Amino acid sequence: MSDLLRGLGSALGSVTSLLSGGALIDAAGNALGLPPAITHAAKVAVGAMTGNVMLAADGAMGLAQELTKNPPATTEYTPPADTARACEGYAAPAQHGSSPVGTSGPERACGTARGSHLDPKMNDYFHALQTLQQNFRYLDATDGKLDGNLSRADLQRISEDARVSPELRQAARFLVDNPGYFERLDNTSAPKRMQSVREGASNDDCFTQHSLQNEINKVKADFAQYGRPERPAGSAPSGSTSGTAGSSMKGIINDPNMSLEEKIEAILMALTEKMDGEILQTMDDLAAAQDKQASIKNGKGDEKALTDAQRDIDRISMRLQKLVEKRKMMFEMMSTLSMKFNEMAKTALSNMRSA
């Protein structure tokens, strides 16, 4: 301790000559350019030294203890209190969120949406791209021919086609209503090697399934780099999820008492329930269409009305079939996930046993 003080004293040697007169400490503080905190600390120390001897001794002891308790170069990880700065240079965490490790540092974990300046509509764009990509062949065939690409005019037609499901119409409508996003997709249409051959060739107002996949990857990369933009409060995601379903999903995702596995299962369960509702609704529609057809037949209605009724029945039957298939897939996915989670737990346990 005395060595340290001697060392500090010698370090101060050239400075203490500045000290003179009554306002010694203030002068020292000013001369050294020290902030008021230090000058104040110095005043306290002087008080202890010039007042009571016992007090001074006690102060010196406390000092020695404090310095012993906090040795030099103690390794500590002290990130800035500002969360955005603390998270700088790190990837945004996954959407399901994670709890902060330890107690020091920023109180809030880096949010995915925090700091992301991407257009909130990017979420809807991403959703529309995925919907179009997964239903590309069907959408391509809605004009009666499979030419392998969709144009702006095709999207316009699909968005107004009552035979197409509302989900697909909404995805097409998004790109029609947002020409900026359509252009973005349009410009990624051709592979790079094609672009180098003919500049601007990709900007032909149509896109393929391959370009949709490329664009999905680019949006994913944007999300990974800048974080996923937060959806404005009150706006439900476009697509099949309704507002209430969306909020219940959010409730599941934000529930701190559920594990990740439980959350995934609960979300799949909620989706399955929603699909059950849709299946029941479609069955009702089918029954109504069959009743209509029967009444036309009984009333000896014209051939055209009968053909229309039959077409309606076919369309609703197709929709019902697709929904049942989707539900089956969902159930299989749930079962597979459950199996995988069990396997993971078993592997972890066996690893712990062998460790």
Residues that bind other proteins (CB under 8 A): 4-9, 11-13, 15-16, 19, 24-25, 28, 32-35, 37-38, 41-42, 44-46, 49, 59-60, 63, 66-67, 69-80, 85-93, 98-102, 104-105, 109-110, 214, 217-218, 220-221, 224-225
Q: Which is nearer to other proteins, 96 or 297 (CB)?
A: 96
Q: Which is nearer to other proteins, 45 or 286 (CB)?
A: 45
Strands 150-151 and 206-207, by their bridges, are antiparallel
Q: How far is CA 39 from CA 5, 7, 100, in A?
A: 18, 20, 38
207: three-class secondary structure by DSSP: strand
Closest distance to other proteins from the beta carbon of 38 (Å): 5
Closest distance to other proteins from the beta carbon of 82 (Å): 9
Amino acid (one-letter) located at 321: Q
Closest distance to other proteins from the beta carbon of 275 (Å): 30
Q: Which residues of 57-66 are buried (b: 16+ CB within 10 A; e: fewer)?
A: eebbeeeeee
Q: Which is nearer to other proteins, 25 or 164 (CB)?
A: 25
Closest distance to other proteins from the beta carbon of 355 (Å): 17
Q: Which is nearer to other proteins, 221 or 294 (CB)?
A: 221
Q: Which is nearer to other proteins, 73 or 233 (CB)?
A: 73
Instruction: Say what the alpha-carbon torsion angle 102, 104, 107, 112 is, to the nearest 10 degrees.
Output: -60
Closest distance to other proteins from the beta carbon of 70 (Å): 4
Distance, in Å, from the CA atom of 336 to the CA atom of 210, rounded to the nearest integer, reads: 29
Distance, in Å, from the CA atom of 218 to the CA atom of 213, rounded to the nearest integer, reads: 9
228 touches 113 (CB < 8 A): yes
Q: Which is nearer to other proteins, 24 or 279 (CB)?
A: 24
Closest distance to other proteins from the beta carbon of 142 (Å): 28
Query: Nearest 5 degrees, angle CA 41-CA 42-CA 44?
Result: 65
Closest distance to other proteins from the beta carbon of 260 (Å): 14
Q: Which is nearer to other proteins, 66 or 199 (CB)?
A: 66
Dihedral class, residue 102 (left if φ above 0, else alpha if ψ from -120 to 50, else beta): left
